[in-house]
Amino acid sequence: MSFWQDPVAVIGQWILDLLISLNLPEAWVTFIYTLLGVIVVASFGLILVIFLIWVERKVAARFQDRLGPNRAGPYGLLQTLADIVKLLTKEDVVPEKADRLVFNIAPILSMVAVLLIWAVVPFAPGWIGTDLNVGVLYIAAVGSFGILSVLMAGWSSNNKYALLGAFRAVAQLISYEVPMLLTMLVPVLLARGMGMVHMVTAQDTWFIFLAPAAAVVFLISSIAELGRTPFDLLEAESEIVAGYHTEYTGMKFGLFFAAEFLHAFTVGVLFAIFFLGGWRGPWAEQAPILGLFYLMLKSIFGYFIIMWVRSTLPRIRIDHMLAFNWKFLTPVALALLILTAFLDKIFSETALRIPVLLIANLVVLAIGYVISSAMTRRQAKQRVKFKKRPVAKPA
């Protein structure tokens, strides 16, 4: 295995040999080796954010017919670094009546919650932080720290807008966790395992062809989990200032900001792993570095959809947000889960497996759409109609 095919394995082996040659006890060697791995994976995520913020600003600018950042460095690449310097030099304000400890822990927790997901992301064959056998559940578990950080930030700021934002955030995040978890179970059923490496190796056909409806529901509910437009009720600036991070300044605000961007990309990565085959592609097994390239390519596809939705859709109203979740996404996700379990068992190992699952998915999605739009129309009829009043017309 040459260096250019698999640099991580070569460097890792070199460090391991170095540590063993130092004659440390075995437990310490494992500890230091693991710690180095943690640092590498976490720094990868953190450095990625710098790049992602630039990408997002550039793409959003193009959607709005602007140029975006283009002054600092070539194509404005250094803009984010300049912003970081600006954020670091800002005054760090803590409100007088705020709960200092909780207030300061919340932004760190929000960043940690996202970084923890990267521990189980399989970047390429053999490149993974740790291959837990409960990988998918672990991702769901880590997500709850994100909710907690929002609640802590909103409560400790001692600001009514922050608290309102936190309430909204928790209502939204907990609700949308339900369809997200249910659709995450569909790839688990298809792969017959919860480990992330197993998930990738099981995708001889990408799961998006077996479960397109599940992929759509997963992406929508993940965008809601992110709290981005059109689901940005938790920081709706025209209603509740900035939601849970109203009182945050400087780098503490920067942490929330960076965590959101990294989370958006992480959703892209998870989408790629669950539905687009992860690092799989031509010659990825021979040269793992190609696998990393494929994963990043697929992730950027998911990330682009998220950015696209963000810059084209307006904010959804709060009752519509909850109704959309409980009356459309959750029933569809439940139906998909049950159907997939039955059909995948009945047609496993036969040639019919892929077409049957594909058609079943599309049918469920269509039925869900028809029912929910019929319900919307019926509600629209029941709405109170007012008599038309004369309106002043321009002369």
Give residues in contact with other proteins (CB under 8 A).
Answer: 27, 31, 99, 102, 132-134, 137-138, 140-145, 147-148, 151-152, 155, 163, 167, 170, 174, 177, 194
Q: Which is nearer to other proteins, 49 or 270 (CB)?
A: 270
Q: HEC string of the chain?
A: CCCCCCHHHHHHHHHHHHHHHCCCCHHHHHHHHHHHHHHHHHHHHHHHHHHHHHHHHHHHHHHCCCCCCCCCCHHHCCHHHHHHHHHHHCCCCCCCCCCHHHHHHHHHHHHHHHHHHHHHCCCECCECCCCCCCHHHHHHHHHHHHHHHHHHHHHHCCCHHHHHHHHHHHHHHHHHHHHHHHHHHHHHHHHCCCCHHHHHHCCCCCHHHHCHHHHHHHHHHHHHHHCCCCCHHHHCHHHHCCHHHCCCCHHHHHHHHHHHHHHHHHHHHHHHHHHCCCCCCCCCCCCHHHHHHHHHHHHHHHHHHHHHHHHHCCCCCHHHHHHHHHHHHHHHHHHHHHHHHHHHHHCCCCCCHHHHHHHHHHHHHHHHHHHHHHHHHHHHHHCCCCCCCCCCCCC
Smallest separation (angstroms) from other proteins to the CB of 152: 7
What angle do the packed helices 330-346 and 212-226 form, to 10 degrees? 150
Q: CB of 27: closest distance to other proteins in angstroms?
A: 5
Residue 43 or residue 133: which is nearer to other proteins going by CB? 133
CB of 170 to other proteins, least distance (A): 6
Q: With respect to other proteins, which residue has the nearer C-beta, 34 or 373?
A: 34
Considering the complex, state which of residue 226 and residue 306 has its C-beta at the smaller distance from other proteins.
Answer: 226
Select 34 or 205, whichever has its Cβ closest to other proteins.
34
CA distance 103 to 155: 8
Q: Which is nearer to other proteins, 33 or 209 (CB)?
A: 33
Q: To the nearest whole angstrom, how small is the minimum distance from the Cβ of residue 167 to other proteins?
A: 8
Minimum Å gap between C-beta 46 and other proteins is 23
Report d(CA 87, CA 214) in Å as an integer: 40
Q: Identity (one letter) of the amino acid at 299?
A: S
Shorter beta-carbon distance to other proteins: residue 144 or 376: 144
User: CB-wise, 22 or 367, nearer to other proteins?
Assistant: 22
Shortest Å distance, C-beta 134 to other proteins? 5
Give the residue with the Cβ less far from other proteins, 145 or 206.
145
Rounded to a whole number of angstroms, the minimum distance from the CB of residue 28 to other proteins is 8
- Closest to other proteins by CB, 108 or 363: 108
Cβ 16 to other proteins, closest distance in Å? Answer: 18
Please give the Cα distance from 355 to 360 (Å, whole number). 8
- Report how far residue 253's alpha carbon sits from residue 87's, in angstroms, rounded to the nearest whole number: 8
In the complex, the smallest distance separating the C-beta of residue 325 from other proteins, rounded to whole angstroms, is 16
Q: Are 20 and 29 in contact (CB under 8 A)?
A: yes
Q: At what angle do helices 160-191 and 135-156 cross, to 10 degrees?
A: 180
CB-wise, 48 or 152, nearer to other proteins? 152
CB of 193 to other proteins, least distance (A): 8
> Least CB distance from residue 150 to other proteins, whole Å?
10
Residue pair 121/273 in contact by the 8 Å Cβ criterion: yes
